[in-house]
Amino acid sequence: MIRIGIATALALGLAACSSSGGPVVEQNVQTETLQSGSGTYDLSHREDKDVIETTVLAPLDSAWRALPEVFLELDIEPGTVDQKAHVISNTSFVVRHSLGGVQLSRYVDCGSSISGPAANQMKVTLSLIVQVVSSDSLGVSKVRSQLDGWGVAEGVSSGRVHCASTGQLEERIARMVNDDLSHRAKKGTP
């Protein structure tokens, strides 16, 4: 149930972002319930989530048409597609070691161990929400992306670790949208 609430909050956060550009910080409160022999305890903590906004040199509709292909190329199954709000998301997909052919540690920071970045050694559950919005400039739109996750060491009895975005996946998504639009323009397809 926590994931559904977070996904809704993130989607609303993306929709409410300012159009001034740059990352916008959203704060969410996570609550986990732990049980011990003597009772039940609720632990809460705040976490910051950056929304990365990148300019795309194409109108909203063209950028939106490119986005599903980007998800597929990254091997991310779109969980929710909202045509009206121009949002594609998957708020619970599992990744091990790499994403879209790139080591996972380039996209998320889950800490490190003696053998290197922990993200490359863990089972990581990610949440990715991407929205395309129109810009004030004619023929230009913006891609707003938010990535967050949790990692669990496989084969070890340990708790989960927060995995924060490095901003690299969000930037790659915008580059891939621009590349797709450029390729379509060369072929003469909309």
What are the structural domains of the chain? Answer: 51-187 (3.30.530)
How far, in Å, are 6, 41, 150, 182 from residue 31 at the CA level? 11, 10, 14, 44
pLDDT at 63 over 80: yes
In sequence order, what E strands does the chain have?
24-36, 39-56, 80-82, 87-96, 98-99, 102-103, 108-109, 112-113, 116-117, 122-134, 141-153, 161-165
Average pLDDT over residues 83-96: 94
Local confidence band at 39 (pLDDT 50, 70, 90 cut-offs): low
- pTM of the predicted model as reported, rounded to 2 decimal places: 0.72
Q: What is the pLDDT of residue 114?
A: 86
Local confidence band at 133 (pLDDT 50, 70, 90 cut-offs): very high
pLDDT at 68 over 80: yes
Q: What is the pLDDT of residue 189?
A: 64
Q: What is the pLDDT of residue 185?
A: 72
Q: Which of 20-29, 94-103, 175-184 has the lowest mean pLDDT?
A: 20-29
Task: Dig out the tokens for 25 from the structure.
Answer: 């910080």
Q: What is the pLDDT of residue 109?
A: 94
Cα 115 from chain centroid (whole Å) = 26
Choose among 165, 172, 104: nearest CA to 180.
172
pLDDT at 93 over 90: yes
